[in-house]
Amino acid sequence: MKTDLESLEVCQKWQLPTAIKGAGIGLRSRHYQDIITKKPEVNWFEVISDNYFCAGGLPLFYLEKIRQDYPISLHGVGMSLGSTDPLNLDYLTRLKKLAARVEPDLISDHLSWISVNGHYLNDLIPLIYTEKVMEHVADRILQVQEFLGRQILIENPSPYLSFTDATMPEWEFIQGLVKKADCYLLLDVNNIYVNAVNNGFDPLKYLDNIPKARVKEMHLAGYEERENYLLDTHGYPVHPPVWELYQAALARFGAVPTSIEWDADIPSWEVLMAEAFKAEKLLKEVA
Ligand SMILES: [Fe+2]
């Protein structure tokens, strides 16, 4: 399937809010106190939705306090958009309630699946890129968007394998998916780089094939170098080739809000701020 990138105009059924600008940071519990007491100069926070689905408790208390001073993007892992299980209405209802509570600018999840027969896995499992799978995922995204009453962003994965049954590369699958589902993209630049090295393609070609108007958020993170592949651990500073690819992404997509993801060996607040500052500097150059 070939898609004309210029024909991928966005249907404005819903309007995305626009408070989120510049570099943001993934909110992690060890930094709650620092943020509340010092009110650091961060543009916005990205929050793992699934961690705040309870009706009360300390995490939600901190989140609501932080929300008073900062815009929020909700990023989830549990939609399981590629699964053949029915959509999890309990999950979506909890997400909708959380969204009503914190009024996020953006809501996102992943291009993957994590559940089978109601059992949830701890990993995001990659999809086989075919027309049939595209139809299936697009249909589920449309249902989710109708349920939430807003468009969502889909994040590109970092798969460690490719499937012989796939009939198209990931970027072509994404082109078709955003058109069918009328959704947006959260482009993870680190994932593109890790995927390109592990699966042997040109990451710039990937960027060139992503429709510009759809990219509303980007991610930066650090991978781990293993013997013969890269592992997407989110446990290191952003590596130089990913910064380089990020600059190419900014040149193509403009100053898209970008968050720093750090999930393993979470460092001090100052280290995270330094990473966000680097991104902010590059964002200002293209803005
Ligand atoms: Fe990411």
Torsion from C-alpha of 21, 25, 26, 32, nearest 10 degrees: -120
**pTM, rounded to two decimals:** 0.94
Name the token pair of 86. Answer: 């029915």
Q: How far away, in angstroms, is 58 Cα from ligand 1 center?
A: 25
Q: How far away, in angstroms, is 130 Cα from ligand 1 center?
A: 23
- Assess whether pLDDT exceeds 90 at residue 2: no
- Assess whether pLDDT exceeds 70 at residue 122: yes
Task: Tell me what pLDDT residue 130 has.
Answer: 98
Q: How far away, in angstroms, is 206 Cα from ligand 1 center?
A: 16
- Tens of pLDDT, residue by residue over 189-202, are 999 999 999 999 99
Most confident of 8-12, 53-57, 142-146, 231-235: 142-146
Q: How far away, in angstroms, is 64 Cα from ligand 1 center?
A: 23
Q: How far away, in angstroms, is 41 Cα from ligand 1 center?
A: 22
User: Rounded to an integer, what distance in angstroms lies between the CA atom of residue 219 and that of residue 84?
Assistant: 27
Q: How far away, in angstroms, is 155 Cα from ligand 1 center?
A: 7
Cβ-proximal residues to 239 (8 Å cutoff; 6+ apart), any chain: 190, 193, 222, 223
- Helices and strands (H, E) in the chain, number of each type: 9, 12
Q: Work out the pLDDT band at 177, boundaries 50, 70, 90.
A: very high
Q: How far away, in angstroms, is 120 Cα from ligand 1 center?
A: 20
Task: Tell me what pLDDT residue 15 has.
Answer: 74
Q: How far away, in angstroms, is 188 Cα from ligand 1 center?
A: 5
Residue with tokens 């592990």: 198
Cβ-proximal residues to 38 (8 Å cutoff; 6+ apart), any chain: none
- Name the CATH superfamily housing domain 18-286: Divalent-metal-dependent TIM barrel enzymes (3.20.20.150)
Q: How far away, in angstroms, is 273 Cα from ligand 1 center?
A: 18
Q: Which amino acid is at 266?
A: I
Task: Name the DSSP letter for residue 217.
Answer: E
User: Rounded to an integer, what distance in angstroms lies between the CA atom of residue 113 and that of residue 78?
Assistant: 8
User: Rounded to an integer, what distance in angstroms lies between the CA atom of residue 206 and that of residue 185?
Assistant: 14
- Assess whether pLDDT exceeds 50 at residue 60: yes
Task: Tell me what pLDDT residue 191 has.
Answer: 97
Nearest residue to 81 via CA among 3, 26, 133:
133
Name the token pair of 24. Answer: 């943001």
Domain ranges of the chain: 18-286
